[in-house]
Chains A and B, each alone.
Chain A
Amino acid sequence: MTKLDAKIPEGSLAEKWTKYRSSVSLVNPANKRNLEVVIVGSGLAGASAAASLAELGYKVKVFCFQDSPRRAHSIAAQGGINAAKNYQNDGDSTFRLFYDTIKGGDYRAREANVHRLAEVSGNIIDQCVAQGVPFAREYGGLLSNRSFGGTQVQRTFYAAGQTGQQLLLGAYSALQRQVGMGNVELFTRHEMLDVVMVDGKARGIIARDLVSGELERHFGHAVLLCTGGYGNVFYLSTNAMGSNVTAAWKAHKKGAFFANPCYTQIHPTCIPVSGDHQSKLTLMSESLRNDGRIWVPKKKDDPRKASEIPEDERDYYLERRYPAFGNLVPRDIASRAAKERCDAGYGVGTSKMAVYLDFAAAIIRYGKAEANKRNIHHVSDEEIQLMGKEVVKEKYGNLFDMYKQITGEDPYELPMRIYPAVHYTMGGLWVDYNLMTTVPGLYALGEANFSDHGANRLGASALMQGLADGYFVIPYTIGAYLASEIRTPALSTDSEVFVNAEKAVKDQIDQLMNIRGTKSVDYFHKKLGLIMWDKCGMARNEAGLKMAIAEIQELRKEFWSNVRIPGEANNLNPELEKAGRVADFLELGELMCKDALERQESCGGHFREEYQTEDGEALRDDEKFAYVAAWEFQGESKFELHKEELKFENIKIAQRSYK
């Protein structure tokens, strides 16, 4: 077994990053100009890394499959971004953010990385404000905060329900500034299809120009994958249609270990599936749980409308089960609780696979507060309603509009119907403290890596991690590697390794095009999604996972013999793009099941039915499973498990309780 070296710096937890930064190797400005960095993906991690590295003087190339870097799916993040600023004077601190994140992750994350994340969280807010990101503010002109799940302080910064959009546009602006200055070369509508390896190091990529269909070779002294998560393995998820695992999976097949693939976040509040036509699911931000109360009827199969069910016949099950955190328990817990109620027959709506998220109480509460603020006495119920709705609209207006568009129902009048959906993947490429994968020169940032969220990510922490990695971590840690690469000249892309790598990619494309079967790519993707959702979704068990592995292998065979890709490979061909991505999902899905099978405990987003407490809570096994599972690819269906032991030196590891 390879020994995984996480390269965690010596010293006390709070000093590690400071000491590291002051002692890491530097690259002088003249040398930076000759060092080329390839960045794949232009979301929060990719755009912020590209801008920051270009500012430092490196030669940067950025690739994205969309028509503009601004489309990356970070744009869709709604609720907010955490930072330990303690502007609210409510007891927040770097340590508390660190602690909440480790605990929220069910004690399956690496302490040193998470502490660093908490340390730089405040700098992110400063940087974004300086860029002109219009965060929500109070009347005094200072920044506003709200609460998110799994915490008892208000540390979430936000811009209405469009925080991801505003942060990404900030990073995109910084990136475009460097593009304009000629420091970054931008390749839109390009998809990375392989990593090029020279003497065991990552030295570039093969990318396909999606418009012309041509394959291109690009050299880099280092390659950064900022390519997001793999939630679309489930077909239905809150991810964008194009979100995929291809870059990470190709890297995996070139030697990068894949860590904790079974850790998937199922988000509790999404709009339920409406039919077989469904192409994606839409999130209703966790911030709604600040004000919305989740409930189901106390009576099974209650046929009444929500408004006809009196207060004492409603079961506010999160408030009942978890009085300390109530509706703001972490996502994994809220999701499982919703599934439990629906499975037990208390679900609502036509499918009975939904619960209510109700704003009626919040509307009245805000209406009364508003009347007081405006000094209006003898106010009627209607006026309170009206003023309350105005406040709710200001906080969540875009989300309510979206809900109405999709369902045709007005959430100001009726409670929302919601159900959990796949949202985020905590697993990803294994990286060390430097964010380098097990392949030298190949880095993974943001959701594409596994490092900070353990088995469950807390709300408003994905934006924090993406930007931390890109703005404040990689600019330092990449020096540790590139300082020793200053004598490596840029390799000609006419060299044999590049030619061979391109040929391998072309062969796979030809193979796909030549199948000429009868079923569309979506047919296979939907089938894979169902297997994953049923057997490797919110609850897993040994028999189901074994069955899933067999089914996926079978489906993969069928895909490679019967998929139909129309058109040609030498021009824009979205079906060919999808086919390549689904081919990779069909391999990843198997590894996810394998990892879930191996982890004989329940933790965070990974819930094994065999391992639960009497009252249905996740039952961890710290003696046997306090490790990161890092899988090495060894050929089709063959993966070797390597373990990185997790040491908790600064936190007392305990059964997670939100009661």
Chain B
Amino acid sequence: MEGNLNLTLKIWRQKNAQTAGKFETYQVSGISEDMSFLEMIDVLNNRLIEEGDDPVAFDHDCREGICGMCSMYINGRPHGPNKGVTTCQLHMRSFSDGQTITIEPWRAEAFPVIKDLVVNRSAFDRIIAAGGFISVNTGNAQDANSLPIPKDDADEAFAAAACIGCGACVAACKNASAMLFTSAKISQLALLPQGQAERSKRAEAMVAQMDEEGFGACSNTGACEAECPKGISIENIARMNREYFSSVFTSK
């Protein structure tokens, strides 16, 4: 017993993609305010193991908010109640004694459940593979300072590049749209001079892949921006649309 929070957890349990899932209810007690949300799940899992039950499967790795692996839908919000944090950086001081917490996986057709809270996000990798790069082979580069880039452009590109690919935007969107994710990469590269050569081809290819994966369209609700743990701006979607349409309308 490290603390004095007693909580009721309603957690989505699903054996695999083929089986239907359902909520199970668990009680945890003695939770410390200093624990991270995932450490609270660790406490539950350790107990389940010792009692001979199957622990809750969930994705996590760096536990410092940067790898983008953790992906829990907590009380109806991706990554829980706090703005600008991932689940692993959410701490139990944000909850109160006696509270009921509902935990689900990301829900989107393009992110099928693998087990419990673990989903398959490889669609994101395929969107990047379709065009989220600058085609420069190793060894082809000129001196880094031969191409000055205005600080504001570099900063804006960095802000878009800060996306961690967690998929919260998709989970938050009623249409399960991946436009915030896709547009962040398109924006980063469109804002930089290095990205100009492939600019129009990139936008078309990435959007096509996004559609092929089964992500929905954008209806400008803004839930993605509100729930993004890294504050990726919805302006990126506007930029992506400009990139896409100017490419489609001007293509030869």
Using a CB–CB distance below 8 Å, which chain A residues touch chain B? 48, 51-52, 55, 66-71, 73, 75-76, 85, 87, 122-123, 125-143, 159-160, 162, 165-166, 169, 172-174, 176-177, 179-180, 186, 188, 211, 238, 240-242, 274-280, 282-283, 401-402, 405-406, 408, 471-472, 475, 518-520, 522, 564, 566-567, 571-572, 574-575
Number of chain B interface residues as a range = 35 or more
Residues of A within 8 A of B174 (CB): none
B202 to chain A, nearest CB (A): 11
In the bound complex, do residue B62 and residue A85 qualify as a contact, i.e. CB atoms below 8 Å apart?
no
Residues of B within 8 A of A176 (CB): 125, 128-129, 132-133
Using a CB–CB distance below 8 Å, which chain B residues touch chain A? 2, 15-16, 32-36, 38-39, 42-43, 46, 48-50, 52-55, 57, 59-69, 84-85, 89-91, 93, 114-115, 118, 120-122, 124-126, 128-145, 147-151, 154-155, 157-158, 161-162, 164-165, 188-189, 192, 194-195
In the bound complex, do residue A143 and residue B145 qualify as a contact, i.e. CB atoms below 8 Å apart?
yes
In the bound complex, do residue B142 and residue A126 qualify as a contact, i.e. CB atoms below 8 Å apart?
yes
Cα–Cα distance between A66 and B124 once the two chains are bound (Å): 14
* Residue of A68, A143, A471 ringed by the most chain B CB atoms within 10 A: A68
In the bound complex, do residue B38 and residue A279 qualify as a contact, i.e. CB atoms below 8 Å apart?
yes
Contact of A165 among B2, B118, B162, B188 (CB under 8 A): B162
Which A residue's beta carbon lies closest to that of B162?
A162
Which A residue's beta carbon lies closest to that of B65?
A402
* Residue of A173, A471, A518 ringed by the most chain B CB atoms within 10 A: A173
In the bound complex, do residue B46 and residue A141 qualify as a contact, i.e. CB atoms below 8 Å apart?
no
Q: Tell me if B's interface is mostly helix, strand, loop or mixed.
A: loop
* Residue of B53, B125, B150 ringed by the most chain A CB atoms within 10 A: B125
Which B residue's beta carbon lies closest to that of A129?
B144
In the bound complex, do residue A572 and residue B145 qualify as a contact, i.e. CB atoms below 8 Å apart?
no
In the bound complex, do residue A275 and residue B2 qualify as a contact, i.e. CB atoms below 8 Å apart?
yes
In the bound complex, do residue B134 and residue A173 qualify as a contact, i.e. CB atoms below 8 Å apart?
yes
Contact of A179 among B2, B57, B59, B129 (CB under 8 A): B129
In the bound complex, do residue A130 and residue B136 qualify as a contact, i.e. CB atoms below 8 Å apart?
yes
B26 to chain A, nearest CB (A): 15
Mind listing 25 A-B residue pairs with CB under 8 Å?
A71-B67, A71-B68, A85-B144, A127-B138, A134-B161, A135-B144, A137-B150, A137-B151, A140-B148, A143-B145, A166-B161, A173-B134, A174-B133, A241-B62, A274-B34, A402-B65, A405-B91, A408-B93, A471-B138, A518-B50, A519-B50, A520-B46, A564-B50, A566-B49, A566-B55
Contact of A402 among B2, B48, B54, B64 (CB under 8 A): B64
Residues of B within 8 A of A85 (CB): 144-145
In the bound complex, do residue B140 and residue A130 qualify as a contact, i.e. CB atoms below 8 Å apart?
yes
Contact of B61 among A73, A522, A567 (CB under 8 A): A73
* Residue of B55, B120, B128, B135 ringed by the most chain A CB atoms within 10 A: B128
Residues of B within 8 A of A48 (CB): 138
